[in-house]
Amino acid sequence: MGGFSAEHLNKFKKLYPEKFAEPEKAFKEIHRGDRIFIGTGCGEPVYLVEKLIEFVQKFPKAFFDAEVLHIWTLGVAPYTDQKFKRNFRHNAFFIGSNTRDAVNKGLADYTPIFLSQVPYLFRNRIIPIDVALIQLSMPDEHGYMSYGISVDVVKSAAESADLVIAQVNKHMPRVHGDSFIHIEDVDYIIHHDEKLLTYESSPSDEVCKRIGKYVSKLVENGSTIQVGYGSLPDAILKSLEEKKDLGVHTELMSDGIVDLMEKGVITNEKKSIHRGKTVAS
């Protein structure tokens, strides 16, 4: 798939040469006080984040007081470093292990919010996005690129942002569903292939396993479930192996859900909407 998509990428370089640029040129479009959205979790455009920091180090007066909005920071988060406090202020909608210290020290902010509300806030400009740094799959022959493993709020952020800077990566899979953006709707494209981030869950301890068994008693056959990530949700999923015809409508597609699908526990046959389909973002 990589070579096939690279051929398409070269075609669009000829059609839209102004969109294909070095990161430094794209970052010169960022202004003082801009709100910068960074793609979520394992879909974080790590290369773009690293290049953004290099840009600020090279041009320390390029912009100040930029707000970095990152829902779930799994990879690098150098913008929380105190030496960049004049350039960036991190606002977390979810506190991860590598941003918790900055929030606790008052170097970053935390905004409690329901994830389901975020697209509405973006689209209605209640929380306007000036710049979106996202990661996409390689384009198809029609110029469509997939948000891949991280659609969640990235789609609404990109659609409402004034400036979209995208890292296209052959390792980002194309995912079916409402998960595509056309090359015409992206301002700058930076091609850089790198392995995607992965989330490693810690093994469930005996307490989590006992909680998982208690929770499983509350889940009826045919129920539709939504599951988070971590050792406790993993233990709960493990305890659902004797259930029948469960459905899934969730944010995170975890390994535990995949296991239940492979074992025939999750069939989605009893769902009242999107019957027969597992839905995740």
Residue 3 has pLDDT above 80, yes or no: no
- pLDDT level of residue 5 (50, 70, 90 thresholds): low
pLDDT at 168: 96
Residue 167 has pLDDT above 80, yes or no: yes
- pLDDT level of residue 229 (50, 70, 90 thresholds): confident
Mean pLDDT of all residues in 146-172: 95
Quote the percentage of the chain above a pLDDT of 90. Answer: 62
pLDDT at 273: 92
Report d(CA 70, CA 46) in Å as an integer: 12
- pLDDT level of residue 1 (50, 70, 90 thresholds): very low
Please state, rounded to an integer, the average pLDDT across all residues of the chain. Answer: 89
- pLDDT level of residue 268 (50, 70, 90 thresholds): very high
pLDDT digits (tens, 9 = 90+) for 59-106: 998 888 999 988 777 656 677 677 778 888 888 888 777 778 888 888
Lookup: tokens for 79: 């913008």
Cα angle, residue 158 at apex, residues 152 and 162 outer, rounded to 5°: 150
Residue 251 has pLDDT above 70, yes or no: yes
Lowest mean pLDDT among 109-123, 146-160, 192-206: 192-206
HSE (side-chain half, CA atoms, 13 Å) at 138: 19
State the fold for domain 2-191.
Glutaconate Coenzyme A-transferase (3.40.1080)
The pTM for the full model equals 0.83
Domain boundaries of the chain, sorted by first residue? 2-191, 206-262
Residue 134 has pLDDT above 70, yes or no: yes
Report d(CA 81, CA 52) in Å as an integer: 13
pLDDT at 83: 77
- pLDDT level of residue 186 (50, 70, 90 thresholds): very high
Report d(CA 75, CA 45) in Å as an integer: 9
- Hey, which residues are catalytic here? 251
Mean pLDDT of all residues in 187-205: 87
State the greatest distance between any 2 C-alpha atoms of the chain, in Å, as a whole number: 60
Report d(CA 96, CA 71) in Å as an integer: 9
pLDDT at 81: 73
- pLDDT level of residue 221 (50, 70, 90 thresholds): very high
For helices 206-216 and 231-238, the axis angle rounded to 10 degrees is: 50
Give the CATH architecture of domain 206-262. 2-Layer Sandwich (3.30)
